[in-house]
Structure 1
Amino acid sequence: MLFFFVFVLFALLVGQLAYLQIINGSSFSEEVNSSSSTTVEGTVPRGMIYDSEGRIMVSNKANKAITYTKNVSVTSAQMEKVANVLATYIKADTSTLTKRQELDYFLANKQHLKRVNKLLTKKQLKLSANKLYKVELRAAKRVMPRLTSTQKTAAALYYKMNSASEFSTVYLKETGVTATEVAQVGEHLSSMPGVNLGTDWTNSYPNGKSMLSIIGSVSTSKQGLPQDSLSAYLTEGYSRNDRVGTSYLQKQYEDVLKGSKSQTKVTVNSNNQVSSAVKQYAGSAGENLNLTVDSKFQNDVAGIVKKYYQSAVSSGAASLSDGAYAVVMNPSTGAVLAMTGYKHNFKKNTITENALGTINQTFVMGSVVKPAMVLGALEDGVITTSNNTQPDVPIYLKGTPVKKSWYNIGAYSSLTAEHALEISSNIYMMRLAMKEGHAKYAANSYLNMDNDIFSKMRRYFGEFGLGIKTGIDLPGEVTGLEGATHNSYGALAVGSALDLSYGNYDAYTTMQLADYVSTVANNGYRMRPYLVQSITDSSRSSKSKSVLSVTQPEVMGKIGATQADVNLVKQGMWMTVHGSDSNRTVSALNDLNPGVAAKSGTAQTFAHSDPTDSSSSMVETTTISLIAFAPAKNPQIAVALVIPNLTSTAGEENTAMAHDIIQDYYKLHNIKKDSNYSTSQSTING
């Protein structure tokens, strides 16, 4: 019986062996000798950024780098060994090395791990892998000696190696790699599997950093993908340590600038060793951006704004001021020719570049909105080009201080629309608002207006882009800030509606102001501002670069006013500079030839008496602004600027800035003087 059972078992064993070796032997042999392949991607330089004249604003600088490509199934002990060898040849930054990273490096050594495990109980050694490692970390703290500087370098290198995924390449050192380090590492590559010499690409700025805050920044390989967009980038095929644009133009045009990574097919045999590596695609650098901005003019405008604002800060006039901002646009196309700004650091009493303040900071702009108010009234039909005279009598409301203009009461009995713009009459604008709101006015009594007065005026202002996003090709743009339409009792804030009519209520960005004056200059078309004129390929030869796309001017809207209405307002803006009334408000620009049209603004605003303390008391300040287009007859540029929260305006910084900006443009572009020009010219139309 026993012999029979042994015979049966032996027969079954022979049969199974025959099945494995004879019937399926070839397939098992193929599986043993099989190999797998994967595609490894390599980095490429990002696209470059040029100004409108072809000057390089952002280029790529190639830096020597030491890289590590993590092989499949590589162990912690193997990486620790490589890190120890490499640490004898290079220096690495250990300033951010944590205690946990030091412990991970210590436990990667087999001898150290055995020593630590001897301290653990049998019960602890039977824990799951994750729980066991936590126990090992606690035990390692008791026995790990203080690491030497070389060991800390090795720990930092090990951390980068261990953080990499299979077949991904990480930078072990990409900045400050010396020629000696390159030579030593290159000589000993065979003793450090996975380590190699490579190239890292970083941005450089050959013509300065005056537009750095607009151009934006790119993450480092250490920072990698931003956490708030990690999933989206990974879905698009990015690696965690890829460099990406993190702000403004670099972020807005990431898909254009990033380029196409190189692709190498790596084959791994059954022993998890790389058997071949074949480059299938060399990759291509990112495409280039060509901006609308002339860097020479941009630097000049930045210098002008900085000069006058620094003077105001030094004199104490800007002790409570947030900053100063300016935008220059082509009114016919919407192309941004310059945008700059400076932010006031109150603690240090210094100013720093902040061009982005032109799209993400809002201010109550003052009288610069008056041309829009007049055009809205013309569109609404409450005045016409032939019938627009209004009494210039102050408005007396019950329980409210008298509402008047900046000049003496009684200086004028009545005003036309052009004359009201010339001398910047608040009374005229308030009376327009009262007409639009069908107000029933009696001196020293309460004022009643239509409930839609705010929405009506804001709709007309919005036709020019005031209070709405302009659509500029930059992320982070904000809308305007609207004041309350009703008071704390729920009643319509009619006094605030009157304030809105002359620009002393809602807040706008400087870019919105530029879009607005451009709309007036080009006879009523609101253009979308843009910074990128075209995109070209990354060919090394500038002559052979092909244009991939060109930004076409885009009309965002057309105001409802007629050409005759626009001409009336343009004439009023011309008279603010060249009129005969001694109370005209922008006479400082009348020496510019060809002549310009403009409108200045002053708003009564408030700021904290101590800008560093949000709980400090509020004090009254003055915000000054200005809009202009030049030359007035055939506008090539539209200018908008603002300086908020000044304690005094003795220097008239807004008109001084505008004067120098326009003069610089005339000089840079060789604008010929008008031989028939004189400061007494009476019209710019026709």
Structure 2
Amino acid sequence: MHSGNQQTPQRKKSKIPFRLNFLLLLVFLLFAALMAQLAYLQVVNGDMFQAEVERTDSSIVTKEVARGQVYDSKGRLLVGNEPESAITYTKNASVTAAQIRAVADRLATLIQMPDTIKLTKRDEVDYYLAKKENLEAAGKALTKSQKYNAAGDERSGTEQYQFEVANTMAKGVTLSKSEQDAARIYARMAGAYQLSTVTIKNSGVTATEVAQVSEHLTEIPGVSVGTDWERSYPNGNSMRSVIGSVSSEQQGLPEDELNSLLAQGYSRNDRVGTSYLEKAYEGVLKGTKSRTQVDVHANNSVTDEQTIYGGKAGDNLNLTIDSDYQKIVEKVLKEQFDRAKSAGDAQYSDGAYAIAMNPKTGAILAMAGVQNDPKTKKESDDALGTINRNFVMGSAVKGATVLGALMDGVITPSSNTQVDDPIYLPATPVKKSVYPAGTYSSLNAVQALEVSSNIYMMNLALKEGKARYVPHQLINFGNNVFTIMRSYFSMFGLGPKTGIDLPGEIGSYLGPTHNDEGQLNSGKALDLSYGNYDQYTLVQMVQYISTIANGGYRMKPYIVQSIQENGTEGTKGAIVDSTTPTILNRVPFTQDELNVVKQGMYNVVHGSMAWGTAHPLKDITPAMSAKTGTAQSFYIDPDHPTANPPETTNSSFVGFAPSNDPQIAIAIVFPNLDADSEGNYNQQVARTMIEQYYKLNNIK
């Protein structure tokens, strides 16, 4: 029996620590704040974020246009653009390397890539690593130091990829023939900028390849079939060295001009002129690229494309050269040089050059060159040798010597007769003319030009240099003798660059005025007077003879007559610029002084003196005037220079026609012929150049 005062046991009271309650409260408050923030973002800024999701970015994509063409003076096409089928690829903004490889693999089964397209080891490795499994394997093979930097932070994906590439290249990869083809395609595709278009194949694309690619476009996203162009040359190799070259899309911008061209808005794979006319007139020929605005969604898909500017094809160049006449000059120059070789007169010769110019305007009418390797006897076109090679020209410069002396006042039109005695200097071979000593007791200026008297010219130098000649004694010239003669020569163009509108022109080579002991080169001053010291380019020579022909105006030579817009469907548009003849300087001789030299040059061809140098050309009608030249030179073997190199002769010729109304001036040089050569090759070239110019231009 229980006692009445027995109590029921009490439950033990549960106690939750304060810290736990505080933590629960904090969680509740944070959750409430998060809900409030979500509500704020959804309700207040919902539209803004929705717009961000739907946002598109606009990019401007440019595309090349057809390059301007080049025509001769008669409107014949010299350089055109040959349209051809092309397989192109436009790189999407979000495409991955694996996706590009998949397209390249498929495209490789549809087209045949030329084996000539260079495939580097890096190209092979990039293609190899574009496959997901290969990239994952390469990533797993990275060492700790390759995956993490010194601070223990994981390297960026770009850094890790460089290590993956290096490791794979060290290990080496082997690609099958089909994989190599695909790798060539992949390299072109992967190298494109986002949203830019590159050409995969544009040469030799067959109709079958076009059909196959067209049928499978859905399987190869980004690939298209279109048209491209390549430079074509209807005249073959004629004038190719003057016209120059254009880089291919694979070559892109020249490395030495990369930064400059990029700053001008070019892309790395743009085709540009790399030499001569193509380079000099790049800004004219390139045209203006088309511009397309591409709208890209936030998810990197293209939503819209709109053409802003359709582009403008490059402007055309109209040259001063008649291609028919150019071919005639090239042909006769080669024929005569080959004749010299056959006769044994050109064993040391490195070529032959000829140029023609309108003396009244400076328009170049033809420029041709044959470069010859004396060792291999191989010949090549070298028309540019007329502007970038200089030679000792010999007596052809004597017109400038006589006119310089007339302007200097040491002779006058009415008083210019001088004795024609040889000049003897100490320890030096006698200085005389080609004809035997004593042939003439004295000569006037007209006669001296006809028979090409070196003695006459040396006497002019003595007078200009205020020197007294005593046989077998040193000549005491004034220190300014070279300056005096060269200042007159330069008035005619023998010295400064001519300014022709082609890159690469060089100036004269002026020999030293003093020897190693600091003494004046007196003998060389005499040599300079008859053209046997300084060296000139052929374009300088034609500028010089033109200055005499036209009455004293040194004209700037030019080869581009006008720039003309490209019309629609292959037609020509409006002339946008024309070259205006430019007078560089007026030589201050009088008409009487000029008449002396013109009469002398007329007599070179039409005179009656026994030692006249170009009488075989007197039957050319209308009559022409000329001056021949020979200069002592030496053949220097660049591989085996010797102390006593073989002596050779530079044979030169300048002339203008018709004599009474000059419409063409010419200059010719055959350098390093045999020292005893008597072939008169330059006169044969001159005959053809003048007679055929008359014929083509109906000059009677």
1:222 counterpart = 2:243: no
Q: 1:461, 1:549 → 2: CA distance?
A: 33
Q: 2:144, 2:610 → 1: CA distance?
A: 98
2:64 — aligned with what? 43
Larger mean CA deviation between 387-396 and 620-629 belongs to 387-396
Secondary structure of 1:537 counterpart = strand
> How far does the alpha carbon of each residue in 1:150-199 deviate from its partner, in whole angstroms, 9 at most, with x for none?
10011111111111111221111111111111111111111212111122
2:16 — aligned with what? none
Secondary structure of 2:646 counterpart = strand
Q: 1:219, 1:184 → 2: CA distance?
A: 29
2:558 — aligned with what? 530
Q: 1:64, 1:33 → 2: CA distance?
A: 38
Secondary structure of 2:566 counterpart = coil
The answer to whether the 8 A contact 1:395-1:403 is kept is yes
1:679 — aligned with what? none
Secondary structure of 1:176 counterpart = coil
Give, in angstroms, the shift of residue 7 of structure 1.
3.0
> How far does the alpha carbon of each residue in 1:219-247 deviate from its partner, in whole angstroms, 9 at most, with x for none?
10011111111111111111111111111
TM-score (norm 2): 0.93
1:305 — aligned with what? 333
1:8 — aligned with what? 29
1:628 — aligned with what? 655
- Supply the AA of the counterpart residue of 1:231: N
> How far does the alpha carbon of each residue in 1:416-441 deviate from its partner, in whole angstroms, 9 at most, with x for none?
00010010000000010010000022
2:390 — aligned with what? 362
> How far does the alpha carbon of each residue in 1:333-354 deviate from its partner, in whole angstroms, 9 at most, with x for none?
0000001000002343122111
2:152 — aligned with what? none
Q: 1:360, 1:192 → 2: CA distance?
A: 51
The answer to whether the 8 A contact 2:292-2:305 is kept is yes
Q: 1:533 to 1:123 in 2, by over 3 A?
A: closer
Superposed CA RMSD: 1.6
Match of 2:134 among 93, 112, 116: 112
1:24 counterpart = 2:45: yes
The answer to whether the 8 A contact 1:624-1:643 is kept is yes
1:619 counterpart = 2:641: no
Q: 1:240, 1:142 → 2: CA distance?
A: 29
**What is the 5 A alignment of 1:33-432?**
33-95=54-116, 96-126=118-148, 128=155, 129-141=157-169, 146-432=174-460
- Supply the AA of the counterpart residue of 2:611: N
1:684 — aligned with what? none
**What is the 5 A alignment of 1:551-590?**
551-590=579-618
Q: 1:225 to 1:145 in 2, by over 3 A?
A: closer
TM-score (norm 1): 0.95
The answer to whether the 8 A contact 1:422-1:584 is kept is yes
1:499 counterpart = 2:521: no
> How far does the alpha carbon of each residue in 1:639-683 deviate from its partner, in whole angstroms, 9 at most, with x for none?
1000100014221111111112111111222221xxxxxxxxxxx
2:8 — aligned with what? none
Q: 1:520, 1:454 → 2: CA distance?
A: 22
- Supply the AA of the counterpart residue of 1:585: T
> How far does the alpha carbon of each residue in 1:538-589 deviate from its partner, in whole angstroms, 9 at most, with x for none?
0147876211111111000111211111111000001111111011111111
Q: 2:227, 2:319 → 1: CA distance?
A: 28
Q: 1:450, 1:405 → 2: CA distance?
A: 25
The answer to whether the 8 A contact 1:218-1:247 is kept is yes
Count of matched residue positions in the alignment of Structure 1 and Structure 2: 671
Give, in angstroms, the shift of residue 615 of structure 1.
5.5
- Supply the AA of the counterpart residue of 2:469: Y
Give, in angstroms, the shift of residue 616 of structure 1.
7.9
2:466 — aligned with what? 438
2:673 — aligned with what? 646
Q: Max radius of gyration: which structure? A: 2
Secondary structure of 1:234 counterpart = helix
The answer to whether the 8 A contact 1:310-1:351 is kept is no
Larger mean CA deviation between 567-576 and 93-102 belongs to 93-102
Larger mean CA deviation between 652-661 and 309-318 belongs to 309-318
Q: 1:130 to 1:566 in 2, by over 3 A?
A: same
Q: 1:602, 1:653 → 2: CA distance?
A: 12
- Supply the AA of the counterpart residue of 1:411: T
> How far does the alpha carbon of each residue in 1:456-496 deviate from its partner, in whole angstroms, 9 at most, with x for none?
11110000111211011100000010101001110000100
Give, in angstroms, the shift of residue 13 of structure 1.
1.3
Q: 2:643, 2:688 → 1: CA distance?
A: 37
Q: 2:375, 2:290 → 1: CA distance?
A: 48
The answer to whether the 8 A contact 2:564-2:572 is kept is no
2:12 — aligned with what? none
- Supply the AA of the counterpart residue of 1:496: K
Q: 1:2, 1:445 → 2: CA distance?
A: 120
- Supply the AA of the counterpart residue of 1:592: I
* Structure 1, gaps ≥5 residues long: 673-686
Q: Percent identity?
A: 52
